[in-house]
Structure 1
Amino acid sequence: MIQTQNRPEIRSGTPKPPSGWEQLKWYGPGLMWMISSVGSGSVLFTPRVGSRYGYEYLWALLIVIFLMWVMIREVGRYTVVTGKTILEGYRDLPGPKNWAVWLIFVPQLVAAVVTIAGIAALVGSALMLALPGSQAIYAVAIILLSAILVVSGHYSKVEQATSVMAGMLILAVLAAAIQVFPEVGAIASGLVPGIGDDFDIEFLLPWLGFILAGAAGIMWFSYWVAAREYGGPVEDSSNPHEAVDDLPNYEADDDFQQRRRDRLQRWMRVMSTTAVIGVVGGGLVIVAFMILGAELLRPEGIVPEGIAVAEDLTRLLSEVWGAFGYWLLIVSIVIALGGTIVANQDGWPRTFADATLILAGDRLNLQRGEENSPQGRQRPTRNKPPRWRRWLADREALKNIYVITTVTLLPLVVFFWVRDPVNILEVGGIVAAVHTPVIVCLTLYLNKTKLPQDLQPGWLAAPAMVLSGLVFTVVAVLYFMIELFGMEL
């Protein structure tokens, strides 16, 4: 297992950050995060909240949007400074071995299964409006087809197409919301914090958990920042000594250290701007969904639910643009959310594969059973590990195992057990909401203890992270007190 004390807390070097117009091409992770965050439970739950409550909880939405910016910025901070993903950072926390990785791994397994099952059920609900056949046929087909694309690796064109359709859905929702925009007084009334007589935590918690993709969205932002190489190429954490060996020539050079920190702080500003783009863009879309729910569904007393939930959602655009809006929303749901399933079936298994390799450690280390021949080739020894262990040590093979099991077979089981997209996704939203304070606390502790002082969260970021953790903790505790112990407000 990698010894954490030998791993650098700051990357050994970093290239010059972009400036001026060059920064524009670095904002991709923010845009991708925005698209993926919209293509989650927000499409379903925000119109439901708007229909039932109008703008009563707009204030809560805006608070969560701001807190999401704080949270993704902090996981991005760790990746920019160290060159490692946030999951690798959790491995380095003191205490029982890999305890923090387990805290991330297990809840996200549950979230992955129910989220994919729920989104597939929603896509199936939309397809059965447009084509002959049942919801089950289309839900099963989309899960299996997506899994085949992910395992084969031939889904880049699908990703591009779904990104375009997600963009069209975003533009359409924004345009429709502008067209039916309410009086300023109606919006303003929702900016005043308060809890009404009809407060239903079981109804609201999944919505809060899915705002901007929730806990999974926080984790994935770190992966996107790492993949885009903010702060420079990501060092191979499987061989940490290489990075350390490069440092002695520079550790005594104060000028070099200062230049490196200055560059990382400038990279932080680029990453922060990227996070702003993602959060503001995604937040505007969610507010637009709330407006459409409040203005179009609430007057008719329609709260989207049940197997035919997509039929209720089509009113969001058909009430504005007629048949064109009806078909636009169906096509957008099918393609954009279908693409979300592909992205989820690729993204979650990568995270699970990383977590498994971290947790397995030396047990999957092939070097124990192999030695090099004089020609530099590996030759088996008597202690060569069995084939299944070597297979599991292959990151790509491990990812595909998770694709087949956790994000294909298990979602199919959940779908046939429940069928209703709302009921399935409610579980995912609750898991996300309850899991968020765990990620917040781990990330804040990691950044405050593992990063150099001048690159740690500042006087504003640290209290904002504490506030984020407190808000989601209070909401989670409130949910369990009401649901399990019958507490009344």
Structure 2
Amino acid sequence: MSLYKLFNHFISRLGPGLLYAGAAVGVSHLVQSTQAGGMFGFELIIAIIIIHVVKYPFFEFGPRYTAATGQNILHGYMKLGKWAVWLYLLMTIATMFIVQAAITVVTSGLITHIFGLEGLGGHDPQIVAFIISSVLLLFSFTLLVSGHYVLLDKLMKVIILVLTITSVAAVIMLLFDNPGHHKSATVFFSFSDTAHLIFLATFLGWMPAPLDLSVWHSIWSKSKNESDGKITSMKETLFDFRVGYIGTAFLAICFLLLGALVMYGSDETFAPGGAAFAGQLMNMYEQALGPWAYPVVAIAALATMFSTTLTVLDAFPRTISASLELLFPQQIKHRNNERTYLIWLFIIITGTLLILFFYMTSMREMVKIATVIAFVAAPILAILNMQAMFNKSIPDEHRPGKLMLLWCWLGVAALLGCSISYLLL
């Protein structure tokens, strides 16, 4: 078999795992990972590895549940009691506007800088950012209502491929052509520094993603099954998930390396605004490496954030519709789930635009709030996923073993300990 055919076969086996990667690789990577490298050099690479290990079982349980039962993991929550679905639904509704706003403001900031739209129509920068965010959300809305899962699946394969190639190329070039900043301005991470601990919480809150994504992944997996007309095998499901999960870890390290190699020790401070941060990032790459770096980093960054904006905008109404269908089966049947999806998609876009209109000025604060909420909520979702997957209704051959159960309890303990420690800061 030729190399092209092997590659094409490999890509064809991937589906929801790439949607997971598209949603996960975004603010946590482009903004938080880059800042982690710029602030502390290579120190927090170990934090990326540890958090991926800790969260792994809980993310795997989303697609694993669907492969084992043919249903999304919210059905597993329902078996625990309606309270579990209500808890997830309330957490989702409480956070969806700020999460979508944080992602959208970073994406619009990139678009603003890359296409030179800062002074569009002579308007105030905040108005320009709001206009671009509105157009971005409208464009994403059009893509989603015209294609839903099938279109999203195809787009993500292209976006993630472009992102991976450009990111790796940028890191390799930097390793051979390090700008070599003086080290008088370097800072080392300290657990005794409250500011450092707060940054670590925001960094790990969305690394590799908020645990809500495990539910989204499960729902995307069910959508793929419906699209294909069959239930994907456990082996194929786990392969697809692991490619996406390992890929997000790899890309997080790439972005941290980019930040460390370009920003660490450069005496630069990070701008709070989306467009300003994007400009700062792009200009530093260009100054360090030359004009070739600008289009490479621009493509990688824009692909990253657009994929995240699109997949998250799709995920919220999907999960809310699925939750409401379980809670109110008579009122919201599967056949009119499409209408519920569209209603919530409209609600999310409207709420996001309201937040952006009134609070556009600080990207940093918006991201901080969203990531800290995810950090504190992580153990709750971890416990729900674990209880759903180890339920007796799961066939024995698909239920994880004792080693995975131990891994889960250690992970829950770590996440709970971190959340409590943060709340006590």
TM-score by length of 2: 0.82
> Which of 120, 123, 136 matches 2:107?
123
Q: CA deviation at 1:166?
A: 4.0
Instruction: Specify the SS of the correspondent of 2:225.
Output: coil
Q: How does 1:74-473 map to 2 (within 5 A)?
A: 74-94=61-81, 98-129=82-113, 130-132=115-117, 133=120, 134-153=128-147, 160=154, 163-181=157-175, 195-199=190-194, 200-229=196-225, 267-307=233-273, 308-315=276-283, 317-319=285-287, 321-362=289-330, 364=331, 394-405=336-347, 407-419=348-360, 420-450=362-392, 451-473=394-416
Q: CA deviation at 1:404?
A: 0.8
Q: CA deviation at 1:83?
A: 1.0
Instruction: Specify the SS of the correspondent of 1:416.
Output: helix
- Structure 2 unaligned residues grouped into runs of 5+: 1-7, 121-127, 179-188
Q: CA deviation at 1:342?
A: 2.3
Q: Check conservation: 1:50, 1:294, Cα contact below 8 A.
A: yes
Q: CA deviation at 1:335?
A: 4.5
| Higher mean C-alpha displacement, 82-91 vs 422-431 | 422-431
Q: CA deviation at 1:294?
A: 1.4
Instruction: Specify the SS of the correspondent of 2:75.
Output: helix
Alpha-carbon separation, structure 2, partners of 1:170 and 1:320? 21
Aligned to 1:191: none
Q: CA deviation at 1:414?
A: 1.3
Q: How does 1:7-22 map to 2 (within 5 A)?
A: none
Q: Check conservation: 1:346, 1:403, Cα contact below 8 A.
A: yes
The runs of 4+ residues in structure 1 deviating greater than 4 Å are 21-24, 152-163, 232-235
Alpha-carbon separation, structure 2, partners of 1:453 and 1:332? 43
Q: CA deviation at 1:201?
A: 2.8
Q: Percent identical across equivalent pairs? A: 21
Residue 130 of structure 2 aligns with an amino acid whose one-letter code is A
> Which of 48, 63, 77 matches 2:50?
63
| Post-superposition CA distance 1:85-106 (Å, at most 9, x none) | 0012111114xxx110122112
Q: Check conservation: 2:167, 2:254, Cα contact below 8 A.
A: yes
- Structure 1 unaligned residues grouped into runs of 5+: 1-20, 184-193, 236-263, 367-391, 483-489
Alpha-carbon separation, structure 1, partners of 2:314 and 2:22? 16
Alpha-carbon separation, structure 1, partners of 2:255 and 2:364? 16
Alpha-carbon separation, structure 2, partners of 1:327 and 1:50? 21
Aligned to 1:241: none
Alpha-carbon separation, structure 1, partners of 2:10 and 2:248? 20
Instruction: Specify the SS of the correspondent of 2:80.
Output: coil
Cα 1:165/1:153, change in 2 over 3 Å:
closer
Alpha-carbon separation, structure 2, partners of 1:153 and 1:268? 26
| Post-superposition CA distance 1:53-82 (Å, at most 9, x none) | 222222221011123332222222222111
Instruction: Specify the SS of the correspondent of 1:298.
Output: coil
Cα 1:71/1:341, change in 2 over 3 Å:
same
Cα 1:273/1:472, change in 2 over 3 Å:
same
Alpha-carbon separation, structure 2, partners of 1:118 and 1:345? 12
